[in-house]
Amino acid sequence: MFKKIGLLVGAILIALVGVVAFNTFTNTPSTASVDPIKLPPIDADAAAARLSEAVRIETISIGRDDPPAAAEFDRLHLLISSSFPLVQETLQRDVVGDHSLLYTWKGSDPSLPPVLLMGHMDVVPIEPGTEQDWEEGPFSGTIKNGAIWGRGTLDDKLSVFAILEAAEYLLAENFTPKRTIYFAFGHDEEIGGENGAGKIAALLKERGVKLSFTLDEGMVIVDGLMPGVDEPIAFIALAEKGYLTLQLAAMAEGGHSSIPPRTTAIGKIARAVARLEDNRFPAALISPAANMFDTLAPHMSMPLKAIISNRWLFDPILLGELGKGGATNAMVRTTTAVTIAEGGTKDNVLPTIAMATINFRMLPGTTIQDVVDHVTAVVDDPDIEITVKQGNDPSKVSDQNGEGYRLIETTIRETLPDVLVSPGLMLAGSDSKHYEAIAENSYRFIPMRFGPEDLARVHGTNERIMIDNYAEIIQFYRRLMQNVAG
């Protein structure tokens, strides 16, 4: 009897190993080859000088309740008009929401659905106290050691200027697109984008525009950041996570601390926070993070390749490992971050109120209401009031087989032949969400090359872009416009 069971277990194990090995070794890259194109010459130094001038204009978005830097945006608009005379002369230009710009490059064939390329002109402030840590002034636009330094060189004046550089080159060659191409440059992306991208989208909707796709900031080319993959990877984000801030408040009687109740307002809030941290949202490997692993698995080294080629068997192990990391955890889970705690003013007074602010980033498919329901159930305390402070649901997941993805992927292979292309999930937010209603698909990618130390430059200290990389980005947009144009 035991011998029979032993034989059976042995047979199952051999079969299992066979299936795992088969799935692993037959998982090879499937993309049809695309030949790199010969890139036309561009004047990278002149382009760098123009971006450097833009960095010196302090178009800072401070907060939702602060007025926009109107005079600075006027200066930036003037710089754009004078730097790109052919764009200024040929394209229709609308100023929207006072400071945002919409350019229309009219195509000759109105039957083709238009495409919209995006960037934003505002930047985040410098965190007080970190000014001295910058190697070059944050608004100096210094060109040194092959780089352009300052706010906006990664996020996101570079894409505004790279798009315009590309268009100016094409116009100089008398290029005319068959398909209409829009350029949309918002002025308030860093504070939600309602007055910029929001109003541009409303204007396009009013004009009856239906876009094939939008391309915005979001993900980049990463090098040395993906375990098991040696090549740099261009991640095209198919979706962005949702954003939700909840406030939890506990009320109490107050009074003198010499006669305290069993639990204070602070104690109630502390218990609620502890319960939330102990009961995270479950991890799930769903689209687009799942698409990413499926696309990259053939390029991975062992044992990752075997694990990801056999997700039917190893998903629990994979999820466990991914859940341990910072960024990888955020790819597979709706995250919970307690960011503010308030309560109490004096050491011998019982507080009448204590509050905690919690920021959630939702996976595609998880709504604001889902989070509120989860929090209500986990906190399980009728004395705690839960209020939605601010939020937007996650984006929809765009099609990895859509026309736009194919055009972007082809353009990457033609202009940046050293990189792999993969779908991805954007962990932060972008202006793309404002166009969802009028765009069939939304993709988020700029071919900036990021090594392990570069992520901290975005919204951080020493933001800068290498001029060589900036030239690649201009070439990318230029080729993309040609490919998109039809």
Active-site amino acid positions: 122, 189
Interface with Zn ion includes 156 (CB under 5 A)? yes
Q: Torsion angle, CA of 230/285/237/401, rounded to 10 degrees?
A: 100
184 or 332: whose CB is closer to Zn ion? 184
Helix/strand/coil (H/E/C) assignment for every residue in 207-234: CCCCEEEEEEEEEEEECCCCCCCCCCEE
Q: Which stretch binds Zn ion (CB under 5 A): 4-12, 213-221, 252-260, 420-428?
A: 213-221
Q: Which CB sits closer to Zn ion, 155 or 294? A: 155
Rounded to the nearest angstrom, the gap between the alpha carbon of residue 3 and the centroid of all alpha carbons in its chain is 57
Give whichever of 156 and 454 is closer to Zn ion, judged by the CB atom: 156
**Please, which residue, 218 or 404, has the CB nearer to Zn ion?**
218
Rg (C-alpha) for the chain, rounded Å, is 26
Q: Distance of CA 289 to CAs 211, 235, 259, Å?
A: 25, 11, 54
CA distance linking residue 355 with residue 265, whole number of Å: 8
Q: Of 95-103, 156-164, 328-336, 415-423, which segment contacts Zn ion by CB under 5 A?
A: 156-164
DSSP 314-349: HHHHHHHHHTTSSHHHHHHS-EEEEEEEEE-SSTTE
Using CB under 5 A as the binding rule, whether residue 463 contacts Zn ion is answered as no
Q: What character string, x for contact with Zn ion (CB under 5 A) and - otherwise, covers 357-396? A: ----------------------------------------
Rounded Cα–Cα distance for residues 100 and 364 (Å): 29
Query: 421: which strand partners?
Result: 234
Contact range with Zn ion by CB under 5 A, out of 25-33, 122-130, 152-160, 317-325 = 152-160
**Contact pick of 122, 155, 216, 393 for Zn ion (by CB under 5 A):** 155
CB of 281 to Zn ion, least distance (A): 26
Binders of Zn ion among residues 261 to 290 (CB under 5 A) are none
Contact region with Zn ion (CB under 5 A), list: 6-14, 149-157, 247-255, 305-313: 149-157
Q: Return the number of the residue (156 or 370) whose C-beta is nearest Zn ion.
A: 156
431 lines the binding site for Zn ion (CB under 5 A): no
Q: How far is CA 366 from CA 244, 332, 398, in A?
A: 11, 12, 16
* Sign of the CA dihedral with 400 first, then 403, 406, and 412 last: negative
Tell me the site size for Zn ion, rule CB under 5 A. 3
Where helices occur in 297-451 by DSSP H, the ranges are 304-309, 311-322, 327-332, 368-379, 403-415
Nearer to Zn ion, 155 or 393 (CB): 155
The residue among 100 and 310 lying less far from Zn ion, judged by its C-beta, is 100
The Cα–Cα gap between 311 and 285 comes to 10
In whole angstroms, the minimum distance from the beta carbon of 90 to Zn ion comes to 27
State how far the Cα of 399 lies from the Cα of 239, in Å rounded to an integer. Answer: 10
265-278 and 368-379 helices, crossing angle to 10°: 120
Give the binding range for Zn ion (CB under 5 A) out of 47-55, 109-117, 212-220, 391-399: 212-220
Alpha carbon distance 348, 329 (integer Å): 41
Strands 464-466 and 147-149 turn out to be antiparallel
Site residues for Zn ion per CB under 5 A: 155-156, 217
